[in-house]
C-alpha cells in the first residue's frame, strides 16, 4: 500500500510544471490503430477514446508516431501512406480524411502537446517486406541497405539524408506541431555476426577524412541532428526538437565520463549516437533517455542513471523514459515501482517530467498502474518552459461575468485585454474569499484552449450550494509562459441564488 503519510502530503510537493507524456506507437499497430485498414470512423473513435484515457491518467502530452517505416500517416510529397494505417502501403485512407490534422486537433482540444515522432532511417520491419511503387526504396534503391533482414536508409549517403530532411520539414511547415521527436533508432541495433553494409558509402564519402568507420558513422548522426535542429527552428522557432535515446551513453569502464553501469549496448559505441555532444552544443531542446530498468537492477540501475543524466544534461530539459509496459514482470513486482521512480525523479531540479512507453499500458491499466499514476499526478500540471525558446508574455485577460447556478453549472466568461499570443488559459479557484496562490497546483481548476471567438467561456460543473468561491485566470503563450493574473471574481451561492462580485483588473 502507498503510505497515507505520502498521500496526505502538502500539495506543494506536486510540481505545477511537469511534462507527462505517453508514446503512441503505430508501428506493428502497437497502440493505434489496433489493426490495419480500419474505417476512418473506427480509427477516429479509437483515438478519441485513447486520448480520453491518457488525459484521465494525468497526461498532458502525447508522442505520436507518424512516420514509422519511411511511410506516413499524412499525405506526403516524399513517402507513401503507411500500411499500418490503411492496410496497404500507398493506399489512401477510406472515406479520405487527413489523419494527422485530426490527431493534432483532438490532442489540442484536450490541452495536450503534440510531439510528432519520426523514425529517420528505418524503411521496413519484416524480411518479407515488399515496397509499393511509391516507396523511395523502389525509386532510389541506391540509398538503401539491408541489414538483419530489414531495409534502412544509409545514413552516410548525402542524397538520402537530404531526402529525409525534406520529408520531415514538410510536416513541420504544414502542421501545427509542438515538437519533432526521434527515439533510439539511428544506426540500427547490432545484429550478431553481421556488419552494417555501408563500406561502399564509407569508401566514397568518409575514408579520406576518417580513419575508422565508427567515427564516420557518429559524424553522420551528429550532422543529421545538428542540421535538422537548425532547419526546424528556421521553419518555426517555437517547434521543439527532442530525442529519446537508449538509456546508457557509455559505461564508465570504457569512458570515465560514462555511467556506473554494465550495459551490453550503449549509444556511443553501438548506435553511433554521441548524445552528450548534442546536449553540450544545444542542438536539441530535450532528451528522454529510455530508463526501462527497475530500481536496484544490477547492470543498469534506475537511480544511478537518473542521477547521471541529470548531471550531464547541460541545461537542456531532461525527461525520463519510463518502462511502464514492464510492470508486473520480473524485477517489477513492486506495486509501487512507478510511484517510487517518479518521486525519485522529482528530487532533481533538471528532471522536468516523464514519457511512458506505451499508451496501451495506461489505456489497459496493466497491473493497476493507473493507481500509481493517480498518486503522483493528483493535480493538473503545465508544460515546463524552456528559457532559450521564450517569447513575450501574453497580456492578462479580464473576467467579464459568471452565469448560471449550482444546479446548472456556473459559466465563466472572459476576454483578452490585448489579443495576441494567447494560446490557452489556466483557471484558478479556491473556496472562500482568500487570495489565490497560483503556484500551488491544487488551485488549478481547468486548463482551457483558446477559442476563435473574442469572448472565451468555460463551465464549472462542480459548484455547491451555500458556498463561496474565488476565481482568477492567466493567459499562457505557445511556450507555456503565463502572463499576469486577471481580475478577481468572488461567487457566493445561497440555494438557487448567487451573488457575484467582479473586481477591476
**Residue 504: pLDDT band with limits 50, 70, 90:** confident
Q: 213-235 and 158-174 helices cross at what angle (nearest 10)?
A: 30
Of the residues 328, 355, 387, the one at which a domain ends? 387
279 and 298: one domain?
A: yes
**Residue 8: pLDDT band with limits 50, 70, 90:** very low
pLDDT score at 9: 40
Over residues 329-342, the mean pLDDT reads 97
326 and 394: one domain?
A: no
Is the pLDDT at 2 greater than 60? The verdict is no
* 418 vs 73: which has the higher pLDDT: 73
Q: What pTM was computed for the model? A: 0.96
CA distance 369 to 201: 47
CB 184 within 8 A of CB 236: no
Three state DSSP letters for 340-398: HHHHHHCCCCCEEEEEECCHHHHHCCHHHHHHHHHHHCCCCCECCCCHHHCCCCCCCEE
Over residues 262-287, the mean pLDDT reads 98
Pairing of strands 444-449, 397-405: unpaired
pLDDT score at 96: 79
Q: How many CB atoms lie within 10 A of CB 238?
A: 17
332 and 433: one domain?
A: no
442 and 493: one domain?
A: yes
Over residues 129-140, the mean pLDDT reads 95
Task: Report helix, strand or coil for 56.
Answer: helix
Nearest to 43 by CA among 117, 94, 110: 94
Tally of domains in the chain: 2
- Strands annotated E in 119-255: 144-147, 150-153, 179-182, 240-243
* Percent of the chain with pLDDT strictly greater than 90: 90
Cis ω for the linkage preceding 175 (within 30 of 0): no
Domain ranges, residue 399:
390-502
Of the residues 387, 402, 423, the one at which a domain ends? 387
Residues β-bridged to residue 447: 426
Q: Give the angle 343-344-348 at the CA atoms, nearest 5°.
A: 110
pLDDT score at 494: 77
pLDDT score at 4: 34
DSSP, residue by residue, 244-267: --BS-S-BTTT-TTSBS---S--I
362 and 427: one domain?
A: no
pLDDT tens digits for range 365-381: 999 999 999 999 999 99
CB 247 within 8 A of CB 290: yes
Q: Any idea what the CATH number is for the domain that residue 276 is in?
A: 3.20.20.80
Over residues 160-182, the mean pLDDT reads 98
190 and 319: one domain?
A: yes
pLDDT score at 10: 39
Q: Across the chain, what does the average pLDDT equal?
A: 95
Of the residues 355, 387, 419, the one at which a domain ends? 387
383: number of CA atoms within 13 Å, CB side? 27
pLDDT tens digits for range 205-227: 999 999 999 999 999 999 999 99
pLDDT score at 36: 96
Which of 160-169, 197-206, 269-278, 389-398 has the least mean pLDDT?
389-398
pLDDT tens digits for range 397-445: 999 998 888 888 999 999 999 999 999 999 999 999 889 999 999 999 9
Is the pLDDT at 12 greater than 70? The verdict is no
Q: Any idea what the CATH number is for the domain that residue 421 is in?
A: 2.60.40.10
188 and 248: one domain?
A: yes
250 and 382: one domain?
A: yes
CA distance 368 to 330: 16
Is the pLDDT at 275 greater than 60? The verdict is yes
* Percent of the chain with pLDDT strictly greater than 70: 97
126 and 235: one domain?
A: yes
Over residues 272-293, the mean pLDDT reads 98
Is the pLDDT at 6 greater than 80? The verdict is no
147 and 33: one domain?
A: yes
Is the pLDDT at 33 greater than 70? The verdict is yes
pLDDT score at 497: 65
Is the pLDDT at 499 greater than 80? The verdict is no
282 and 157: one domain?
A: yes
CA distance 465 to 443: 20
**Residue 496: pLDDT band with limits 50, 70, 90:** low
238 and 271: one domain?
A: yes
Amino acid at each position: 500500500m502507498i503510505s497515507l503519510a505520502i498521500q496526505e502530503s502538502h500539495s506543494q510537493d506536486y510540481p505545477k510544471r511537469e511534462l507527462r507524456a505517453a508514446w503512441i506507437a503505430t508501428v506493428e499497430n502497437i497502440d493505434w490503430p489496433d489493426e490495419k485498414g480500419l474505417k476512418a470512423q473506427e480509427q477516429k473513435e479509437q483515438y478519441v477514446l485513447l486520448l480520453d484515457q491518457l488525459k484521465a491518467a494525468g497526461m498532458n502530452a502525447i508522442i505520436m508516431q507518424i512516420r514509422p517505416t519511411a511511410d506516413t500517416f499524412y499525405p506526403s510529397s516524399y513517402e507513401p501512406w503507411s500500411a499500418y494505417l490503411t492496410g496497404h502501403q500507398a493506399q489512401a485512407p477510406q472515406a479520405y480524411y487527413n489523419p494527422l490534422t485530426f490527431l493534432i486537433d483532438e490532442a489540442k482540444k484536450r490541452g495536450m502537446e503534440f510531439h510528432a515522432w519520426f523514425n529517420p532511417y528505418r524503411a521496413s520491419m519484416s524480411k518479407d517486406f515488399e515496397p509499393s511503387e511509391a516507396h523511395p526504396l523502389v525509386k532510389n534503391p541506391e540509398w538503401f541497405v539491408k541489414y538483419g533482414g530489414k531495409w534502412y536508409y544509409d545514413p552516410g549517403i548525402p542524397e538520402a539524408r537530404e531526402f529525409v530532411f525534406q520529408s520531415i520539414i514538410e510536416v513541420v511547415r504544414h502542421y501545427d506541431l509542438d515538437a519533432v521527436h526521434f527515439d533510439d533508432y539511428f544506426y540500427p541495433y547490432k545484429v550478431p555476426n553481421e556488419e552494417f553494409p555501408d563500406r561502399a558509402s564509407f569508401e566514397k564519402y568518409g575514408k579520406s577524412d576518417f580513419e575508422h568507420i565508427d567515427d564516420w558513422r557518429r559524424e553522420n548522426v551528429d550532422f543529421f541532428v545538428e542540421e535538422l535542429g537548425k532547419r526546424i527552428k528556421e521553419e518555426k522557432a517555437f517547434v521543439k526538437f527532442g530525442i529519446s535515446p537508449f538509456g546508457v551513453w557509455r559505461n564508465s569502464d570504457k569512458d570515465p565520463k560514462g555511467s556506473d553501469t554494465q550495459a551490453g549496448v550503449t549509444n556511443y559505441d553501438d548506435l553511433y549516437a554521441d548524445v552528450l555532444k548534442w546536449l553540450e552544443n544545444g542542438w536539441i531542446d530535450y532528451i528522454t533517455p529510455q530508463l526501462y530498468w527497475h530500481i536496484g537492477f544490477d547492470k543498469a540501475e534506475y537511480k544511478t542513471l537518473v542521477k547521471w543524466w541529470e548531471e550531464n544534461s547541460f541545461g537542456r530539459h531532461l525527461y525520463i523514459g519510463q518502462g511502464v509496459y514492464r510492470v508486473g514482470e520480473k524485477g517489477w513486482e513492486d506495486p509501487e515501482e512507478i510511484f517510487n521512480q517518479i518521486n525519485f525523479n522529482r528530487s532533481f531540479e533538471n528532471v522536468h517530467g516523464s514519457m511512458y512507453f506505451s499508451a496501451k499500458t495506461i489505456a489497459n491499466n496493466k497491473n493497476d498502474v493507473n493507481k500509481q499514476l493517480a498518486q503522483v499526478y493528483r493535480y493538473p500540471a503545465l508544460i515546463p518552459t524552456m528559457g532559450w525558446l521564450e517569447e513575450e508574455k501574453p497580456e492578462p485577460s479580464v473576467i467579464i461575468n459568471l452565469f448560471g447556478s449550482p444546479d446548472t453549472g456556473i459559466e465563466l466568461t472572459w476576454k483578452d485585454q490585448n489579443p495576441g499570443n494567447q494560446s490557452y488559459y489556466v483557471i484558478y479557484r479556491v473556496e472562500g474569499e482568500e487570495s489565490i496562490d497560483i503556484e500551488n497546483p491544487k488551485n488549478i481548476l481547468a486548463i482551457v484552449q483558446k477559442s476563435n471567438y473574442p469572448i472565451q467561456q468555460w463551465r464549472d460543473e462542480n459548484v455547491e450550494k451555500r458556498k463561496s468561491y474565488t476565481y482568477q485566470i492567466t493567459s499562457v503563450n505557445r511556450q507555456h509562459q503565463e502572463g499576469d493574473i486577471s481580475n478577481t471574481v468572488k461567487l457566493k451561492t445561497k440555494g438557487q441564488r448567487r451573488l457575484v462580485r467582479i473586481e477591476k483588473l
